[in-house]
Structures are given as structure tokens and as C-alpha cells.
């Protein structure tokens, strides 16, 4: 059983920055893909960014150039640095790990960007 715990959400003014962290209960060195998703009110959950075991990254168009995803296999941690935040970035952010064909999700952390 994989447990994921996100932290770092909160309220920030437009143009500000936040850093999210996701702590995994297992060794992630063999996890191929890890990612951040978000769900805004009234919308479906959508990919924000992901990173594979080789360090290759993929970003949603709306966050490209503003967000940076990284992983620390030694600390079993996935992070998301968010800069130049916009009100449209307001959402619950979820960490996801795919392992052995199963997708594991954290409970999410709320990010609110005030205009």
C-alpha cells in the first residue's frame, strides 16, 4: 500500500509563489512516473505536470514556464514549485504515483490564488 501526503498549499496573491511537496511511504526510485494533478471547482481533475524515472518532464500548457516539477528519490519526495500564480490556478492539487499498474493518489492540498 502506497501512501502519499501532500503539503504546502495555502492562500497566495496573484503573482506569488508556492511550493508543494508530496511525501511517499515507499521507495520511489523504481517508480516510473509521478505527477501532480489539480481539480478546480466544477471541473474535472487534470494533469499539471509529471516526471519520469529518467527525469524527463511534461507540463500542461497553462503552467509551462511557471511551474517546475522535481523528484528526490533519496527522500521519496515529489515537489512542485509554482511561480507567477494566477487565479485560474486555484484548485485542489493531488499527487499521483503509478506503481505495478496501480495509480495511487494523495488526499490533496488546496491552493487558492487571490486576484
Q: For residue 83, is pLDDT > 90?
A: yes
Q: Is 87 left (phi over 0), alpha (psi -120 to 50) or beta?
A: alpha
What percentage of the chain has pLDDT greater than the value 90?
90
**Which pLDDT does position 30 carry in this prediction?**
83
Greatest extent of the chain over all pairs of C-alpha atoms, in Å: 42
Q: For residue 104, is pLDDT > 90?
A: yes
What percentage of the chain has pLDDT greater than the value 70?
100
Amino acid at each position: 500500500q502506497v501512501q502519499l501526503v501532500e503539503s504546502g498549499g495555502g492562500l497566495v496573491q496573484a503573482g506569488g509563489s508556492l511550493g508543494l511537496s508530496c511525501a511517499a511511504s515507499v521507495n520511489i526510485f523504481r517508480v516510473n512516473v509521478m505527477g501532480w494533478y489539480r481539480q478546480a471547482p466544477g471541473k474535472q481533475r487534470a494533469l499539471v505536470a509529471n516526471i519520469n524515472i529518467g527525469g524527463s518532464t511534461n507540463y500542461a500548457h497553462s503552467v509551462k514556464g511557471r511551474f517546475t516539477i522535481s523528484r528526490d528519490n533519496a527522500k521519496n519526495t515529489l515537489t512542485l514549485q509554482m511561480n507567477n500564480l494566477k487565479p485560474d490556478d486555484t484548485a485542489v492539487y493531488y499527487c499521483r504515483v503509478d506503481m505495478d499498474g496501480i495509480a495511487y493518489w494523495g488526499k490533496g492540498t488546496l491552493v487558492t490564488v487571490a486576484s
